[in-house]
Chains A and B, each alone.
Chain A
Amino acid sequence: MAEEKKPLLEVSGLKQYFKINKNFTVRAVDDVDFVIYPGETYGLVGESGSGKSTIGRSVIRLYDPTAGTIKFDGMDISGKLDRKTDEALRTEMQMIFQDPMACLNPRKKVEDIIAQGLDIHHVCKNRQERADRVADILLKVGLAPEHAERYPHQFSGGQRQRVGIARALVMNPKLIIADECISALDVSIQAQVVNLMKDIQKETGTTYLFIAHDLSMVKYISERIGVLHMGHLVETGTTEEIFSNPIHPYTKSLLSAIPIPNPRTEKTRVAMSYNYKEAGVDYNVGKRHLIDGTHYVLATDEELEKWANA
């Protein structure tokens, strides 16, 4: 059961600071712990500037973490990477980016965009094998093999995001970090992409770290959710736990901010507001408290008591 499962990704005490100048350091991510198990989807939510993307980028090592350890598939990937770990990391962890217009090289054909990882890691022995793999992956993401000959500008937004997903999938990664990969798309297209990502997960057993600010979409795709605010993971647990029993006032305000498509109740509902400064909460002194199961809240003892009874 849960105890026996070995986590695929284990992040503990992750800190990511950016030094702006001598006197000023931005603490983008401050002491964050979470684990992701193989085959599941972990959703990271929070407002802009809360550090969700920074976590994704630190995990895939686009940044060098200031402190903390990141364990991926048994390997420690938080320190200096030796050649073997680097190679493994670059093939087994992939990323899907936010803006499908900006993340594809406009001067390359789709085939070359998707196969770039294959080329760099010398995966394919000949051109035919490369073309076959690209064609397979295009079919898998709902495009046609003929699309390999086209350039990114010849696709619509949703199709481009499919190309982005194909590029991540072609390496058969164990973990895919999806950084706001649906927020730039139209609502109806968002649903299509989310469905596609779920289908792929069912088929290949890939694990996702799904970063988004739209809680209603995160609810559909994730098994577990982490709520970030100002670089701190304020609450984490299964989707069920977060949605049915939110403890932290920030989580509550996020949940209440989602407009509910029911005109009769929504007309009179007022969203809860949460202001860090006025709430008198200091994230730095809070500790992780276990509520039940996998549900953790960052709080001091007094705060926890107050919120739980509220």
Chain B
Amino acid sequence: MAEREKVLEIRNLSVSFTASSGLVNAIRSVDLDLYRGETLAIVGESGSGKSVTMKAVMGILDKNAVINSGSVNFTYHRGEQVVTTDIVKMEKSDIRRHINGKRIAMVFQDPMTSLDPTMTIGKQIMEGMIWHYDTPKEEAYAKSLQLLEEVGLSEPEKRMKQYPHQLSGGMRQRVVIAIALACDPELLICDEPTTALDVTIQAKIIELIQRIQKERGISVIYITHDLGIVAKVADYVNVMYAGKIVEKGTVDEIYFDPRHPYTWGLLSAMPDLDTDDSRLYTIPGSPPNLKNRIVGDAFAPRNIYALKIDERAEPPMYQISETHFASTWLLDPRAPKVEMPAELKARIARMKKEAE
């Protein structure tokens, strides 16, 4: 394999929000790496800090957010030059000028609200090119037509003149993707790109993003809670819980050899078309309130495998293989040996069999 080129490197990032009721520690010391042309999926429940992490990368955190520590190093090409900048240290106006939309583009969850209802589709696609690159209007128009075709919209000339409300949800999400691609970004962040869409349209949008990624060789970060989508698209998976990454590894390692009890829970809770259990598995309890200071392992109160030490100290990241890490005391050499639940084991065995 050729030398992998790092695109994004997040180290020890912590973000809090000042709320009327006190400080909310939304993400706590997150490390993350992404290489060129690869796909990373971040999974976790709502409120686990997936979106906040990505907003920090884009420099679009809300006004009441405070970055306590850490760095977000983003590497991009400027002509022949390879430039690395720390987004945390950049001025907001510089981020707007050099990063947002130009080199990192984002596809949001709800295509109904992420498009401007008062502007035509064409104008919205051309806006970024004209602003960032001073592209002449004719050139921008031609490129927009090409983009609309690339994302699979028929009659691009007609679409250019239409307004968002004249399109269906799936078509709108395609337009959003076209806008994101307009400035040839090197990193595409998809924040739950299909949650607002139907299953059939979801499959098409996912396949579209996959195809574009392959053609352009860009890196993609998916934020999602659908493990089916993760299985389809991701090379690497990061599992987030209560503002921390608790397990990371290649998609194979996470699905076939999960180590963290939370990942076990997530995988057991997937509705699976083959199982005939009459009840769906749910992880007991609810995520902790991040307003309170978390002592020990945040997942411990919901974890039936929790050890005594989980209440006192936060587990470090244990390395399992070159790419596989998990943060749980169960991996400590002194910990008692705990196997994953039998049902999950059976399911993994079945999944392995299917793959043969």
Contact = CB atoms under 8 A, between A and B. Distances in A.
Given A214-B199, A260-B228, A187 B269 contact: yes
Contacts of A220: 271, 280
B232 A258 contact: no
Interface stretch (B81-89, B91-99, B201-209, B307-315): B201-209
Interface in B275-293: 278-283, 286
B37 to A, nearest CB: 15
A254 B199 contact: yes
A194 B280 contact: yes
B206 A264 contact: no
Interface stretch (A57-65, A75-83, A143-151, A267-275): A267-275
A12 interface: no
B227 A191 contact: no
Contact of A257 (B202, B272, B352): B202
A232 to B, nearest CB: 16
A198 B280 CA distance: 10
A210 to B, nearest CB: 14
Contacts of A269: 232
Contacts of B232: 259, 263, 266-267, 269
A259 B203 contact: yes
A220 B230 CA distance: 22
A274 B199 CA distance: 13
A303 interface: no
B278 A216 contact: no
A132 interface: no
A35 interface: no
Nearest to B272: A261
A151 B267 CA distance: 35
A270 B233 CA distance: 12
Contacts of B267: 261
A215 B280 CA distance: 14
A191 B271 contact: yes
Contacts of A128: none
Nearest to A215: B199
Residues of B in contact with A, size category: 35 or more
A300 interface: no
A219 B231 contact: no
Contacts of B207: 270-271
Nearest to A218: B271
Interface string B201-230: 111101100000000000000000111111
A261 B254 CA distance: 11
Dominant SS among interface residues on chain A: helix
A261 B198 contact: no
Contacts of A270: 207
A203 interface: no
Contacts of B90: none
A254 B352 CA distance: 25
Given A48-B169, A186-B225, A257-B202, A262 B355 contact: yes
Contact of A262 (B204, B278, B280, B354): B354
Contact of A258 (B228, B230, B281, B283): B228
Contact of B228 (A47, A156, A198, A259): A259
A245 interface: no
Interface in B242-282: 251-252, 255, 267, 269-273, 278-282
Contacts of B113: none
A284 interface: no
A266 B231 contact: yes
A208 to B, nearest CB: 15
A203 B11 CA distance: 52
A264 B351 contact: yes
A271 to B, nearest CB: 4
B269 A261 contact: no
A262 B255 CA distance: 7
Contacts of A259: 202-203, 206, 226, 228-229, 231-232
29 contacts: A47-B200, A47-B201, A187-B45, A187-B269, A188-B283, A191-B271, A191-B280, A191-B282, A195-B282, A215-B199, A216-B271, A219-B271, A220-B271, A254-B199, A257-B199, A257-B202, A258-B273, A259-B228, A259-B232, A261-B228, A261-B230, A261-B231, A261-B255, A263-B231, A263-B252, A264-B352, A265-B355, A266-B231, A271-B200
Interface of A: 47-48, 156, 186-188, 191-192, 194-195, 198, 213-217, 219-220, 243, 253-254, 256-267, 269-271, 273-274
